[in-house]
Structure 1
Amino acid sequence: MIFEPVIPWGWLGVVAAACLVLFCFLLARGTRSFRPRTRMLVSAAYLSGIAGTLFLLANPGRKETLTVHSRPVWIVALDASSSMTSPMQSSGAGGSRVDAARRDLKSIAGLVPDGVDVRWVSVKDSSSILPDAGALARVEADGSSSPLSRSLAALLEDERSGGRAPSGLILLSDGRDTEPAHLGRLAREAGNLGVPVHTLCYGEKWEAPRLTLEATKTIIHSFPGNTVQASARVRNRKLGAVQTAVSLLDAGGRVLDRKVVNVADDADAVVNFTLECPPKSAHFSLKCDAVPGDESGPEGHEALFSVQAMRSRIRVFMAEGAPYWDSKFLAQFLRRQPSFDVRSIHMLTQERFYSINTGEETGAKADGESIPSSLEDFLRFDMVILGKGAERIITPARAAALHSFVRDYGGLLVFARGKSYAGRFPEMEALEPFAWKAPFPGDHQLTPSPEGVKDGLFGVVLPGTGADVWRSLPPLEDSWDVERIFPGTRVVARSPDGRIPLLAVKRVGMGAAGMINGDGLWKWDFFPEALRLGNWYEDFWGQFLPWMQTAAEFLPGYDLSLHVERTSVEPGVPVSFSMSWRGRGRPSGVSVEVADIRNPEKTIFSAAARQDASRGGLPRWNGVFTSPRPGRYILRARMAGSGASPMPDVCLDVPEPPGERDNLDADPAFLASMSELTGGRRLSREELDGTLPAMMEPPPDYTSREEAFFPLWNRWYVLLVLAVLPALYWWVRRRNGLL
């Protein structure tokens, strides 16, 4: 006999002792009027019943090992999510995935060997057990999600809690799992039970017909009163040639502009809007009209962006030792821009300089001492532009200070006319994107490269690859062939044959250096045939210089930088951010405020930043916060005692978790991982007849040995005796006229 007490032994002893003391006391009082012999017999019967009851609390019984003859059980699960209604083939032929799976269900039902039980399960938003294959085949594929791993793991957990272990599981699915993080949980449950998961995949790549809209830039920095360009990309997938209208709306929902755009089938179209930068930062939205057959939801037809009004002007120092039309036209263009504060020095002879600055109509005499000669001098500017003849005005000491300005303090450097010096200049070479080889004869049309389109300079704010305007504008002259392109360089435009890099940006430490490899851009603003195409000179410089800022740590005019590790994250994940300071003093109280872009004045929460090791001698802070619920947010840098210093901000996109219809591509790789992790196989539809019967065939003697416990308390005669003994006490009391 063994015992499996219902309560711990220690507590059982306490309960037994307390009960014996209590019942002995009650028994002594209740039998005082009995004759001694009657009192002794009644007490013995009563206490025997109490002792027997306490004995049963210890749950006595016996264990036996039994041989159980059982039938093996298999689980056949059908993915009934709405993605299964997609076509089997990328061409749209072959019927739907769920129809093919239903045909295979019928085949599987006919291949199940005798002596094998099958549990038929549908999986969509949750799993459901059906009575037979026919009922499973009639299930509609309308699930709004397909949590395959989670549902199957829960199903196996139920089997384990019920003491059952299926022989195997067959899943018919396209592999779309809206909660793939649960795959590890499924692998653990299947491993605990020894259940292999065999998978049968349906479908190929497939994109539903949809029209979607996205803003090419979610945050635009400009100066109040300046004209800015907001661009939207309209994507048309499988709808045929369509026409839609895109509207530009302010934060209050008022339509500011509306444009009709034609989009070819399986193509993109870019629509541009111009608006004036408001006095204060503001937020806007772009919306496109739906078209017949479009399966994307309303969220796919709207894009948000913000225009951040910059207060401090971009301080530019421009210098050239061999003036030419290019530098003259560029200086004039920049001086006309209200957002630039330009100081330019041009060397005419070894002893003769002249300077012309923003707000001045004519130049004035200057001397070489006016050229910045130390790091402190360069730090009075945000951007340095060099033309030709740099060796005549930039000494090695000045070059070292310029290098530190760019590398350590996030300055911007532009080589506006290609190789800026004659011969060798080692101190300047470290700042350049290329290692020079030799002058390359001939003229070269500036042609956008795929990298320039990918980085957003061309194809959005400027025409992309293949646009006629690039073949029509005057070519560049005096370009150089390059020996190699240095790491960290993005070549955004080349010669038509792709050999000569003509426009590039290189990240240098915390700053960036841009290079125009050639002369002749001034012709875009002068020659009549170029002007007939539009003012591409102003458009080019007006877009290239702001775009170049994105390669540096700091925005021009800002002493504090803010960068996030990723600008698009899932809800509830850590978001890391970093900040640097290049201004005066050592600030404290650095943090980031997070606000909804639709209500930017209301801060949702703040995240403090922790000071880290200096980078390039500059104070640096790092921080982390958990991304909020889905939405579009703006992150604003904050610093105690910042005064009038402008504070940067960035946008953070927290998209909704991918829905069932967001991606309709079949995912055979996911199903292969599921089978591999659980010891199963990837099945093909062609091998079902030959593989399935042998796989499901039970062993000749499908038995198992189980240990069973037989308790004593559930025997009727035991309970009868325990009931009769105390009843005898009460019967005697009644016979003696007692209650």
Structure 2
Amino acid sequence: MMFKILELMGIETRGYDRLMVHFTGLKSPASLWICIGVIILFCISAYFMVKPLSGLRRKVFILALHFIALIFAISIFLEPSLRLAKTAKLKSPIYILIDSSESMKAKASADQSRIQNALNWLEKNHAYFDALKNDYEVRWFRFDEKATSLQANFLDMPKISPDGQQTQILESIYRLKSELGDKRLAGLVIISDGADRGELSQIGSEQNPREKAKQLKDMERRVQGLGKIYTVLVAEEAGMKDLAITSVQHDGYGFVKNPFVVVVKLKMIGEDVKEVPVQLYQGQKLVAGKSVKLENGKEQSVELEFIPDQVGRFLFRVEVPVYQDEASVENNQKVFPLTILRDRIRILYIAGNPSWDEKFLRRTLEKNPSVDLVSFYILREMYDNPEASEQELALIPFPTQELFQKELPNFDIVIFQNFFGRDYMSPSYLENLRDYVVDQGGALIYIGGPRAFIKDSFNFPLEQILPVDFSFGETNYQISRLSLRLTDAGALHPLTNLAGGELENKSLWQGIGVLENYNQVLRVKPDAVVLVEHTQSNPGTLIAVREVGKGRVLMIATDSFWRFRFEQEGQEGQTKYYQLFWERALRWLVKDPEMKNHSLSLFKDKYKPGEDINIYFNVQDRSYQPVSGATVSLKAVQAPEGCSPAEMPGEEIAPGKYQFKLNLNCPGGYKLQAIAEKEGLVAGTDEAVLAVEKDSQELQDLSIRKDLMELLARAGDGELLKIPDSPAKMKFPDINLEEIIGAKDIPVWNNWLTLTIFVLLFGIFWAVRRYYSLS
């Protein structure tokens, strides 16, 4: 009808099949606000205009004319035009989504994975999907946390890598719908194992019937406009079997010689297992194990407890056995790095007699909350005559046999202060002490005095591990006032670097005050490091350290070191340095990681596959001087089977600081070792551990969730299919989509006819108002 009127008006309409009204003035938001303001003013003026009139008919008649004129004026202001449009019919779109999450690489049968099962089904039904393309616009997507478009000819060579981090079916659908805008779909096909980790799984696990019904209704509302939803289950749970470690929980760090608990959660799918052995390894060493009974489909926890016997950072691995025909073997072990710290430092303190030096040091150690102190000092020597029988004496015998044959490995540090043990112990006990330091990694503090540094065959095992050789004189204990001087090595060493800067530190040691005595030594051993000297003798070694075998030794050749604290007692804030020295000494002796002179460090201990890893290697010599110009290399001493990275060189980025750049793709645990060499000698070596693991939780539970796929199909008024069902069961509607391929606008507001009507309307309105004597 309208087309004929337009033709009568001389407007060409051939080739157009749609007529629409278009308002150009609405393009500007300000136009709408102007129209609203005009309407409000007209309403107010209309009220006051008809108020003097009597009779309802008159008022209605005037108001009708008033609003007809108003609407016509607004219509002209909005610049209306008629739009003739030419349309073409479009194919109704169908989206096919294929699950590409990591769970899809699990076995669907003995010889192929779930993703391969899905792709084989698509290839087998190639003809159906080709026929579907004749009537519909078919688009292909892969999805995990979101949907990603695939090539239009995907079905010609179907290939998808199942490496997605998480299956989120509803979230992927909702994102697609938001991208569609007002566009509708004829249907949606979801090909998946249903192992959802997002909103759909939460709906499926909801126990409250009322809440679940509410969530299902909300899901039905949100999938409206997506057409019929068909779900295709890629595998059946019947016959599937998988044992998985779903999680490993533990504290961030443990303490040596204290029980540490690792909580392992397991799940078995497919069958009941009477006893499953769960084992915990530290490197290649089995440290804990327990068997647990599992029921099909139920998660079970087991606690593995062990007592760490070493301080450091280690790689731990939880393992369960791999059964025949499991869906995945990747979830049968889990690796994690763990730092083992010292809870308390156990110290055996033996003093030859009570003294001021012994008193100050013992009180300092007792105040340290991290120290567990066992101390002995000799009050009565062998040649003393108390003139009483042993039964009448309160002093206990010195338990040397128990200490040096049984308990010695349980101590972290042994302190000998002004002690010569020939009258109290067997020479073999000092051999035990030497072996404790050299072979077991123990530590020794040797402090001077009249009974110390005595050149005697009894002391030979002790002299072997100390930083100096003893003097041959009958007595090497000298009473003399002496001042201290910090060596170049002492200025950098963590034991004696007590103040901030180099000048402040040297000034601190020079201001300690005058000590009262020293022990004369013969010579300093080549591998020892002298930290503090005096000028009364040559060599004037006062404080020195040595690393011997696996252990460390600190020597102080005086028993007047207590004056370090005493001389500064009245100076505010200065007494802390005596305590700080001993705190640092203890930490260095027990090999605190922060005090290592060569250290391999990482920013974190867990990385994703393919993530860039920056590793830094700090190399210092025994004096803590940076070692520049060294040849450094990094190699893996432990790595997943078949994934060990090649040995690689490092780059020096600062004096003594080297960098390695690494990229590891295989999940698992790695133990890396860095070695620095200079002039044919090893300048430093250290190790670090890290774990490479995916963020994905897909392999923790490989259940086939048929129930969730049914829920989704029901919400979309579709049906659940199972491979190898025929896709011919899927029926999609034609939603009659059209596309405008041509248009012509005909303005109707700026011609003589519109202007004539506008003038006539306002003329009639004005005449009527004059007739009724209205203002």
- Provide the TM-score with structure 2 as the length reference: 0.31
Flag the structure with larger Rg. Answer: 2
